[in-house]
Amino acid sequence: MLLITCPHCGPRAEIEFRCGGEGHIARPGPHDAVSDAEWADYLFYRTNPKGEHRERWLHSAGCGQWFNVARDTMTHQISAVYPMGETLPEASPAKEAAR
Amino acid sequence: MTRHYSALSLLREGLNGQRGWQPAWQDADPKPRYDAIVIGGGGHGLATAYYLAKNHGITNVALIERGWIGGGNTGRNTTIIRSNYFFPETAAFFEFALKLYEDLSRELNYNIMFSQRGMWMLGHDRHGMEMLRRSANAMRLNGIDAELHNEAGVRAEIPGLNDSPRFPILGGLNQPRGGSARHDAVAWGYARAASALGVDIIQNCEVQGFLIEDGHVRGVETSRGTIRSECVGMAVAGHSTVVAEKAGVRLPISSYALQAFVSEPVKPCLDTVLLSPATGTYLSQSDKGELVIGAGLDLYLSYAQRGNLPWMERAAAGVIELFPAFSRMRFLRQWAGICDVVHDSTPIIGATDLGGFYVNCGWGTGGFKAIPAGGWCLAHAMATGASHPLASAFSLDRFRTGALIDEASASGIAH
């Protein structure tokens, strides 16, 4: 079971959270200039790495806030938790150890 | 030497000290070149190799498996076989698989222990019953057996259900020809039959890259050397995106862990397969006497084959809600398999943008029941270059054209 450190409430069990899937996805546009393939990519194609994954989580049973998580899909190790709107720099070490 | 299994061969080997049996399949070393390569030694890969040889006469085939035969999802599922789908395309496909299963023990000369004990889905409220009625009608229109029962009918067929459940049992939908089979036997039977037709079954052989020239696949780089072929099929379930990425092919798949459990073995107490969406219960009893219990998908991407505790607790709570008598039973084993989930819960079978590279993936939580048809259709695509009529709607292109077959909504599939 995951122990997730909510930026607002601190470490809590995973049952308090909901995973919103891949983070940092931008809607393509303007809409009439977007090809079918680009729409398909936006709607249905997601990164599915065996390793570190950037995703959004919602503390649904707590503060109700969304935030970003960097998590390894093999080990489930959480290497960073950071606020919405921020991008974890590619080369930086994990900003915050989760446990 | 004895290859064919029969009462006579059992008797002969019994008198002979069991010394004459041959290995079920030959563990082969890779040759430099094949007419076709199948990646993945699970049910779908093995079935593909078998039907390439049997239906299309292509016997110079390498089946390469990273681990061992039956060590992936084929050995990690809850072995349920059914065809209770909604849309004509999916219903026809899964019904074809069920019909192949009905004859598979005889065809492979290997007892897959297919038991058509029925598959029940319970309705716990008015809306649930409306969905079941709609499903029953859709199944019958598609020519598939379906029975709708009221509460008395359910209780008459399934003894031991809770007398006063929190979620009342208003009725149920039964597919009498649904049931379960021995999952290992399906893999071993296909491996044995494919090997007998000349397929090289190569274990402990990991695909590390693809040879590609002029937009066409020319072979694979593996941990056991380069293997060349102009025709490569992939059936690797939860790792589909990882392997396809090595070929530069992107798939609309997300990988999630699905866990299951078995209880300690007890005397026969449940002679059917039971699904109760409202309580999150998925339950049957194996021939060994264990209760086989399925849980839900983990809610986040995972390649870790271990599952998690909250879902385990939820599955147990659901079982006890339906069958209070099971509350003292212990879990004996727990495990998880990795499912490749797509948006419409319908598989992807057929060609990709890379010439000569075909995929069989996107089964989500329900690949086991499809094994014979999945292998049949992937073999057809690899041998002929054209999609099999049963799988023509399951193209990768549907995510671009929008021609989705949304079984997730239509038949309430849980992924």
Q: What is the pLDDT of residues B344-359, one digit of tens each?
A: 999 999 999 999 999 9
Global pTM?
Answer: 0.95
Q: Which residue of B has its CA nearest to A14?
A: B310
User: Is the CB of residue B333 less than 8 Å from the CB of residue B357?
Assistant: no
**What's residue B47's pLDDT?**
98
State the pLDDT at residue B102. 98
| Percentage of residues in chain A having pLDDT higher than 90 | 84
Contact A48 B254 (CB under 8 A): yes
- Which among A2, A19, A50, A69 is the top mutation candidate for probing chain B, defined by the most B β-carbons within 10 Å of its own β-carbon? A50
Looking at the predicted structure, is the pLDDT value of residue A35 above 50? yes
B226: left (phi over 0), alpha (psi -120 to 50) or beta: beta
User: What CA–CA distances, in Å, run from B212 to A43, B93, B170?
Assistant: 29, 32, 57
Q: What would the two tokens of residue B116 be?
A: 């058509």
- Report residue B133 as tokens: 């009625």
CA distances from residue B100 to B54, B230, B351 in whole angstroms, order as listed: 14, 29, 24
Put simply, the answer to whether A44 touches B310 (Cβ < 8 Å) is no
Give the pLDDT score at B299.
87
Q: For residues B2-16, give the mean pLDDT.
A: 92
Shortest alpha-carbon distance between residue A57 and chain B (Å): 10
Of A18, A48, A71, the CB nearest to B241: A48
Contact B252/A40, CB-based, under 8 Å?
yes
Residue B194 has pLDDT above 70, yes or no: yes
Distance CA B65, CA B44 (A): 12
- Chain A positions touching B304 (Cβ under 8 A) are 73-76
The tokens for B163 are 């007398």
CB contacts, 8 Å: B252 with chain A: 40, 44-46
The residue count for chain A: 99
Cβ contact, residue pair A43, B343, below 8 Å: yes
Closest residue by Cα to residue B391 from B375, B377, B405, B410:
B377
Instruction: Tell me: pLDDT of A97 over 80.
Output: no
CA distance B165 to B152: 15
Tally: H helices and E strands in chain A? 1, 6
Query: What letter does residue B347 receive in the DSSP assignment?
Result: -
Closest CA to B239 of B60, B25, B407, B66: B66
Asked if B310 and B297 touch (Cβ cutoff 8 Å), the reply is no
- Residue in A with minimal Cα distance to B402: A40
Q: Give the SS3 label for residue B115.
A: strand
- Cβ–Cβ < 8 Å for A24, A46: no
Of B255, B304, B309, the CB nearest to A48: B255
Percent of chain B with pLDDT over 70: 100
Q: In terms of DSSP H, where are the helices of B239-396? A: 240-246, 309-322, 371-384
- What's the pLDDT at A91? 44
What are the angstrom distances between the C-alpha of B364 and each of B182, B386, B413?
Answer: 20, 24, 9
B397: its two tokens: 């292109």
pLDDT tens-digit series, residues B160-178: 999 999 999 999 999 999 9
Q: Which of B303, B308, B342 faces A73 most closely, judged by CB atoms?
A: B303
Interface of B with A in 133-192 (CB under 8 A): none
- Mean pLDDT over all residues of chain A? 89
* B59 DSSP 8-state letter: -
**B residues 331-370 lying closer than 8 A (beta carbon) to A:** 342-343
Average pLDDT value for residue range A39-56: 96
**pLDDT, tens digit, for every residue of B215-236?**
999 999 999 999 999 999 999 9
ipTM of this predicted complex? 0.90
Task: Give the residue-averaged pLDDT of B185-212.
Answer: 98
Question: Would the pLDDT of A95 be above 60?
Answer: no
Residue with tokens 């299951």: B260
Contacts of B253 in chain A (CB under 8 A): 48
Q: What is the pLDDT of residue A90?
A: 60
Q: Are B99 and B107 in contact (CB under 8 A)?
A: no
Terminal Cα distance for chain B, rounded:
47
Phi, psi of B388 (to 5 degrees): -65, 140
- Average pLDDT score, chain B: 95
* pLDDT given at position B1: 65
Separation in Å, CA B279 to CA B157, B314, B315, B413: 19, 9, 8, 15
Cα(B39)–Cα(B48) distance, rounded to whole angstroms? 10
Mean pLDDT of B7-28: 94
CB B44 within 8 A of CB B371: yes
The pLDDT-based confidence of A89 (bands split at 50, 70, 90) is low
Give residue-wise pLDDT tens across range B364-406. 999 999 999 999 999 999 999 999 999 999 999 999 999 999 9
Task: Kindly state the average pLDDT of the residues A60-78.
Answer: 96
Query: Which tokens in the block code for residue B356?
Result: 């000569």
Query: What's the average model confidence in pLDDT over B118-140?
Result: 96
Task: Closest CB to A76: pick one of B242, B304, B399.
Answer: B304
Written as one letter, the residue type at B240 is S
In the block, residue with structure tokens 């589909």: B240
**B404, exposed or middle or buried, with CB in 10 Å at 0-12, 13-18, 19+?**
middle
Residue B256 is classified by DSSP as E
- The DSSP secondary-structure symbol of B266 reads -
Nearest to B336 by CA among B312, B360, B352, B356: B312
How far apart are the C-alpha atoms of B213 and B355, rounded to whole Å? 10
Q: Which of A14, A15, A50 sits opposite B303 (nearest CB)?
A: A50
A40 has a pLDDT exceeding 90: yes
**Cα separation values, B373 from A3, A81, B9, B35, B98, Å:** 42, 44, 31, 22, 8
